[in-house]
Chains A and B, each alone.
Chain A
């Protein structure tokens, strides 16, 4: 756990770009020298312009450990500087720099056990989907509950994969005929969806700061132990 892990920037070439939603794309890289990663970790991405100007942002790894290509999912922020390039301009063959994998706190592997409670706000779904994909592939006997909050169906990442296996709440716009949740996650919603504290689920909460705070506090109020709750806050680091 405390093995030396020096971080170095490495050149990466985009092998494939896939649209996830109108605002989000998944970029896949061929990384033959990649040391491997754990579900929940992230990479730093750095872009360099012709005049030498550089910008750097962090993105969670979407691909689970063991898949041949490293993948990240990027959502375009309107006034962003990096995300419009990654989720707009970038195409197969383009190059950028990566540094990673990074993170040892917000990670899950089968040895940690379950059941899992994965709580995603917006693009916070990326690392949680990585964990869920890893679970499905490596430890399907571990139970998991996935709750995803999205502004609307057009913003829901990985909708086909989540079909039928996640509890969704659409906070701003709902599809026609929607009978599911239509509000921000609160204590009552969690009480209805989450496994009871007696099952000691390992909770992973990821999303904007306000989402993480509300959900983490609600979990504690419902009786979940703080030591079993891991959080990662997403936010604008410049776009």
Chain B
């Protein structure tokens, strides 16, 4: 087991700083396998040149985030859909 693997809670600060809303409760649908769950449960890899959130079911990449000196890049294409209870 990868002891260095965390979960979406570890991405919460970076994502909230970007989107200005709490994201860990947001429910995401994996575009790879259709699994549905809160982003907090995504398998998260932070020891890297960027942040990667993966589907706990199929390991497909859901979200990637990179901090460049002058901007932050986010890729969400692994999420088919995001749901937020209002």
Contacts and interface: CB of A to CB of B under 8 A. Distances in A.
A5 B20 contact: yes
B19 to A, nearest CB: 9
Interface string B39-58: 11100001100000000000
A209 B2 contact: yes
Interface in A93-146: 99-100, 102-106
Contacts of A237: 6, 10, 46-47
A7 B9 contact: no
A99 B86 CA distance: 24
Interface residues of A, number: 31
A106 B47 contact: no
Interface in A1-51: 1-7, 42, 44
B7 A231 contact: yes
A58 interface: yes
B21 interface: yes
Contact of A103 (B1, B9, B21, B41): B9
Given A44-B13, A237-B46, A103 B3 contact: no
A237 B45 CA distance: 9
A4 B1 CA distance: 36
B22 A5 contact: yes
Given A5-B20, A210-B3, A105 B9 contact: yes
Contacts of A106: 9, 24, 40
Interface of B: 1-10, 12-13, 16-17, 20-25, 38-41, 46-47, 84-86
